[in-house]
Amino acid sequence: YIPRIGKERVKGIDLFIQKKHNIFNHMAGYSISTREEKIDNLFNDKWFPGYNDRTHRLKMSEMITWKNWHLTGTWNFSSGLPLLKLTESATEIDINRSDHFSQLDFALIRELRTNHFLLQAGASLLNVFNRQNIVEVDFLRFTSDAGSMTVRSDISALGFTPLFFIN
C-alpha cells in the first residue's frame, strides 16, 4: 500500500417527520447529500464520489402499539453506491453506480409486565422481499510477475431472515 494525502467534503440536508395519534406512530426520514474525495496524485487531482456516496436515503416506519402488543414495519431505500474503476496509471476514472438499496422489515412484540420484571417476546422478518442489497463494493488488484488482475467484491446485506427473541 502507498499512503497518500486526501481530502473529503460532504454536503447535505436531513429531514425527519413524526406524527403520533391514538395507537399509531408514523415516522419518515429523508437525506439528500453528496460526498466527494480528492487524493493527491490520483485522477489528475480531481474530485470523485466518496466511498459511501448515496445521494438519496429514505426511511419510513410505522409503529402500532395496542395494549401489550407492538407491530412495526420499516422500509429503507438508498440510491446506489459509486463503483470506481481504477486504471493502471490512476489518471483516469470510470464511475458507475450499484443498484439501489431497498429493504422491508416487520416486527411483532408482546410485553408482559409485573412490578418486578418485564418480559418481551417477538418475531422479526428482515428483508421480506429477499432483495440482494449491496452495502459495500471493493476492487482488489492482485499483481504478480505474470501480470495483474482486478477483482470486484460485492458485500451484500442479509437475505430474508426470520428472527425470534425473548428479553
Question: Coil, helix or strand for 45?
Answer: helix
Structure confidence at residue 62 (pLDDT): 98
38 touches 85 (CB < 8 A): no
Q: In the prediction, which pLDDT does 1 show?
A: 65
- What is the total residue count of the chain? 167
- How far is it, in rounded angstroms, from Cα 127 to Cα 102? 8
Distance CA 164, CA 13 (A): 36
pLDDT recorded at residue 57: 97
Q: What is the pLDDT along the chain (167 residues), one digit of tens a residue?
A: 678 889 999 999 999 999 999 999 999 999 999 999 998 887 788 898 888 899 999 999 999 999 999 999 999 999 999 887 766 555 566 788 889 999 999 999 999 999 999 999 999 999 999 999 988 877 777 777 887 777 778 888 999 999 999 99
CA distance 54 to 32: 8
pTM equals 0.81
Which pLDDT belongs to residue 153? 80
Integer Cα distance of 134 and 101 in angstroms: 7
> Radius of gyration over alpha carbons of the chain, in Å?
22
C-alpha cell at 24: 399509531
